[in-house]
Structure 1
Amino acid sequence: MSFPSAFALLLCALGLQSSCVCADEALQNRGHDPFFQISSAIGNCPEPLGPRVSEAEWKGESHHRVEHGSDCWLEGRCRLPSAFEYDDEIAESTRRRLQWLSSSLPAWQHSTLWVTVYERWIVVQGCVAPDFPSRAFLSALREVPDVLQVSDETTANPKRTIPYRLFRR
């Protein structure tokens, strides 16, 4: 039995979860959440929707972003007033971490992956080779400063299962 990722559960709770969304819905990265492709070795890997949302989804999500973005700071657990303020810094640190992993764990590049940084979470989506070093790769991303959680939404068999929402051009 496959459990939905925490990111998918969050989207589902916000009413944003569906299997596919088409580009004609004016999808945009309205929250400017870092979203970038980190590898491209596996052909025909479907592109994830990532943080692209419609205007209606954005309006539905805005309350959550305000409330949950500031909880950490209000509770005195964070140095910045919003969890989202960490995301650009986490994205940059993730890029540096991936450069280091290119020499210390080069097998991670046998993949086609995208990363979204959202509210101090790193969400990894895409396709991996059957021998992909998932445990070591995800563990290395968890070591990026200020990251709360790393969510693995990858598949070694994209013809059978895709564990993320798809972006259709």
Structure 2
Amino acid sequence: MVPLARVLVVILAAGSTSLPCHGEEPPTEQRNWFGDPFFQVSAQGPGCPLPRGPFRTAQQRDVQSHNRAERGTTCWLAGTCSRPNAFHYDQDIALAFRAQAARFPALFKGTALWVTVQGRIVFVEGCVTRAATVAALEDFTWTVPDVGHVIVRVRVGAKGEVPYPVLAAASGSDAGRRR
């Protein structure tokens, strides 16, 4: 027979997982939990929604944790990178991207773009005025040292939906929805 005190502890422990503890973030607050680089490169396109970038709820962070740990060490184990974790490249990639972008301002004319770097993957998201800019952005991003993959998700033109998740309003009620 299980003592009643042990049953109560199990019930309380099980019930506490759905309620935030004192000092925990509300489940809808979005934060950059892993410190991934996220920055705006250009702001010449009015009305372009802010990408969600690396911002996630605490629950989404927990879901991503295992995947990030596994994905981070895969390139090192495969011998395709010299650092023990792919995420260790991200700050250097972000700095190099910004430096190169400053040298090529014509590429970013008429755009509103943000960059997220996660595990050597560079996401370029936002809005551009010309379709030709999409391929140019991808080619440009591949010139940044240590980039492992490039994903360009942009809206061409001033109207229509964007092809990336947007950062939800402060309430967090529509986190991850596309607009």
Q: Tell me the CA shift for residue 53 of structure 1.
A: 0.4
Equivalent residue for 2:22? none
The yes-or-no answer on 1:152 pairing with 2:152 is yes
Root-mean-square deviation (CA), in Å? 1.7
CA distance in 2, matches of 1:71, 1:36: 26
2:31 maps to which of 28, 36, 45: 28
Q: 1:48-78 CA distances to partner (integer Å, 9 max, x unpaired)?
A: 1110000000000000010110011112221
Q: Tell me the CA shift for residue 159 of structure 1.
A: 3.0
Equivalent residue for 2:87? 84
Map of 1:2-151 to 2, 5 A cutoff? Answer: 25-102=28-105, 106-130=106-130, 133-151=133-151
CA distance in 2, matches of 1:110, 1:132: 12
Equivalent residue for 1:9? none
Task: Specify the SS of the correspondent of 2:167.
Answer: strand
- Unmatched tracts of structure 2, length 5 or more: 1-25, 170-179
Give the % identical residues.
Answer: 34
Contact 1:108 1:132 in 2 (8 A): no
| TM-score normalised by L of structure 2 | 0.76
Q: Tell me the CA shift for residue 24 of structure 1.
A: 7.9
Equivalent residue for 2:10? none
Contact 2:127 2:154 in 1 (8 A): yes
User: Going by fraction, where is strand more abundant, 1 or 2?
Assistant: 1
Contact 1:110 1:132 in 2 (8 A): no
Letter in 2 for 1:49: R
Contact 1:73 1:80 in 2 (8 A): yes
Contact 1:107 1:133 in 2 (8 A): yes
Q: 1:70-103 CA distances to partner (integer Å, 9 max, x unpaired)?
A: 011112221100000000000000001101112x
Higher normalized contact order (CA 8 Å, seq sep 6+, divided by chain length): 1
Q: Tell me the CA shift for residue 107 of structure 1.
A: 4.0
Q: Tell me the CA shift for residue 168 of structure 1.
A: 2.7
Moved beyond 4 Å, runs of 4+: none
Counting matched residue pairs gives: 144
Q: 1:157 to 1:110 in 2, by over 3 A?
A: closer
Contact 1:29 1:52 in 2 (8 A): yes
- Unmatched tracts of structure 1, length 5 or more: 1-22
